[in-house]
Structure 1
Amino acid sequence: MDVSLGGLRADATRSDGEVVDLMLPLWRALVVFRVITWGFACFGVWSRWDGIARPSGAVIQLAVMGLWTVIASIGYSRHWGRRNTRLAFADLIVSVGCMYLTLLAQPLIDIRGGASVLTSVWVAGPVLALAISRGRDGGLLGAATVSLALLSLRGVDNASRILSNVQLLLVAGLVVGYAASTMRRATTRLRDAIATESATAERLRLSRSIHDGVLQVLAQVQRRGNAIGGEAVELAALAAEQEVALRTLMATRAATGDRGRIDLCMLLLPLATPRVDVVVPAGQVLVATARATELVAVVKEALSNVSKHAGPGASAWVVVEDLGTEVLLSIRDDGVGTTPDQLDARGHLGVSQSIRGRIADLGGKVTVRTAPGEGTEWEMKVSKT
């Protein structure tokens, strides 16, 4: 996998376009762990052969463990086994069952007297599987289940003997679960980064293709249509709309965010029209998703007021400023303007509820400046979180 943050490459994806799963090394390590620990269990039985009360029961137990090791290993090597946690839970149930199969080889009284549970460290497999698939909570669940099964075999009186085993299981579940959760988040971020890079590259390619051709033609049609007049003015207006739409497409950013935040600029850029300019910073302005949605609704309401009341030839500007922990939105028009009292009376529901009310609900501040013949300017300052 070849990935560089300066420009993520397609090498980070498979030939079918799917992002490489960063969890795959953990699953492969689990398969190796399963096979090796089954070998340890076999060696343990061989080394204790003379001390086993019923050797045939031990052979049956090892055979069941070996068969399940093959099945689980195949499952963890396949996408369906890694994607679905059912296999990990089935692994836990079967592994605990194999622990109790020790009773085929050793009487319970011997086990509580100090005889080994023949599954040995092999039984830690489902703990790791649940930690990988479900994170910390899954690892702790697996460790607690195996520990309770071990305690039931050893007996409460021998709890001190298994304390070290329980501690190792809990630590393994915690550590592997934390690592798996971290890698899963890294996979998500890598996928988003690759999507952003791909979208940006495609947009740049389109920009190079249409900037010197289509946009110039549309601009020429607009100029000539306005100069000719008559029905050509309508054609000029359509050309102007398409030019703005293409420029907006070229400027629109990928819909990426981080931990419940989204780029406010990406949501506002599509609002641009021949009469509305949207000016945003070069970088992303990440805002909590719910807040960003409300801010876009506020801007739409303000632009609707411009369309209804500013006059037929009025233009508007939407400006976004990043103030660090806050974002400043300005919506200004060059329309006929009015007085603050008339503004409240004329657009009672739109101004009071959709604009002032929404911003107040977000804990922000609203300032409006307007005068007859001088247009109207809204200024809203809101926290990003």
Structure 2
Amino acid sequence: MERDPADDLLQPLWRALVVFRLITWGFACFGVWTRWDGIVRPSGAVLQIAIMGVWTVISSIGYSRRWGRRNTRLAFADLVVTVGCMYATLFAQPLLDIRAGASVLTSVWAAGPVIALAISRGRDGGLLGAATISLVLLSLRGVENASRILSNVQLLLVAGLVVGYAASTMRQAGARLRDAIAAESATAERLRLSRSIHDGVLQVLAQVQRRGTAIGGETVELAKLAAEQEVALRTLMSTRPTVAQGDRIDLCGLLLPLASTRVDVVVPAGQVLLPAAVAGELVAAVKEALSNVDKHAGPRARSWVVVEDLGDEVLVSVRDDGKGTTPARLEQARADGHLGVSQSIRGRITDLGGSVAVRTAPGEGTEWELKVSKA
């Protein structure tokens, strides 16, 4: 089974938690031994320490296994059991003695579920665990002794926050590492296939296209099909994975698949990251411009889609060598209810806060310039 890099990065924290649980259980045992003469019911203390030891073993085994790390139910169960063990101190010491200064026998062992929830649920989980343990401690000590447990509460909150932030950061780093590994693997496989295809299939298709065109007749259709498949294979080889970072996505990865025998797509070597919603609307506007070429530019018209990264903005040009038209005809088409230009292109880009420029003339084709902000 493929290992999750995020899980691998968090393993040191889980291991540290297991060691922490074992050591603090030893501290609790030592505390009971040093205070043995002051414990009212020693049998209750022994029973409590035994239960804590059994749960320490169970939780340590769980946190050492993937099911225990990936499933937050163990961390919540740890919190419930720890709360029960804290209240189990009442079997060894009366509540009045505890509020008078007697120790809660769980000691620092009670911080275990705070760390576990922080690792599994991040900052919010750590704060939830810290708040729960603090309230239990306050109920045992009494409100009148709140100042005596303030330092303990502060340490629990700090532990929950620090470990929670660390776990969240590691989890995000793991997700990015997983995406990078996937992209690298896809690129390596694409390069391997590209070499094989270029040495065999593409050369055959190019030969069929040239010979079919030269022979003429019915073989022209075969040459056309070969040309289409050649472009499709070249597009497949040049297309790169659509990389997403948070809510931003690579515009180039979305536009490259639009290439065909009549459409060339030229993009920068690096990524052009845009908010996913902006990239989707921009791609839709480009598709509408290409659709207009198919409808109005003539059957032999070719198109070029060019992406330029201008720093804070992105410029996408869609140009064709078709029949062209005049700005007056474009305005007349809008007035007649043909909304492809006014809504599908201009409307989309304007709603994004961008700008649209169009240059066209009879016999000179049409060029659209779509500019949007990268913010």
TM-score (norm 1): 0.94
Structure 1 residue ranges (4+ consecutive) displaced by more than 3 angstroms after TM superposition: 344-347
Shift of 1:25: 1.1
Amino acid at match of 1:217: V
For 1:373 and 1:40, how far apart are their aligned partners in 2? Answer: 88
- The answer to whether the aligner puts 1:355 opposite 2:345 as a matched pair is yes
Q: How does 1:1-385 map to 2 (within 5 A)?
A: 16-20=1-5, 21-346=8-333, 348-385=338-375
Shift of 1:295: 0.9
Shift of 1:135: 0.7
For 1:17 and 1:229, how far apart are their aligned partners in 2? Answer: 53
Shift of 1:345: 3.3
Amino acid at match of 1:157: E
For 1:309 and 1:344, how far apart are their aligned partners in 2? Answer: 15
Q: Compare 314-323 and 26-35 and name the one that shifted more.
A: 26-35
Q: Give per-residue Cα distances to partners, 1:87-135, cap 9 Å, x unaligned.
A: 1111111101110000000000000000000000000000000100111
CA RMSD of aligned residues (A): 1.0
Shift of 1:76: 1.1
Amino acid at match of 2:348: R
1:344–1:351 contact (8 Å) kept in structure 2: no
For 1:86 and 1:19, how far apart are their aligned partners in 2? Answer: 20
TM-score (norm 2): 0.97
Instruction: Give % identity.
Output: 81
1:366–1:378 contact (8 Å) kept in structure 2: yes
Shift of 1:223: 1.0
For 2:199 and 2:94, how far apart are their aligned partners in 1? Answer: 86
Shift of 1:32: 1.2
Shift of 1:341: 2.1
For 2:343 and 2:109, how far apart are their aligned partners in 1? Answer: 64
1:368–1:379 contact (8 Å) kept in structure 2: yes
2:244 alignment partner, SS class:
coil
1:134 alignment partner, SS class:
helix
Shift of 1:255: 2.0
Shift of 1:160: 0.9
Q: Give per-residue Cα distances to partners, 1:56-91, cap 9 Å, x unaligned.
A: 000111111111112211211121211111111111
For 1:204 and 1:303, how far apart are their aligned partners in 2? Answer: 29
Give 5+ residue unaligned stretches, structure 1.
1-15
Give 5+ residue unaligned stretches, structure 2.
none
1:137–1:177 contact (8 Å) kept in structure 2: yes
2:184 alignment partner, SS class:
helix
1:306–1:314 contact (8 Å) kept in structure 2: yes
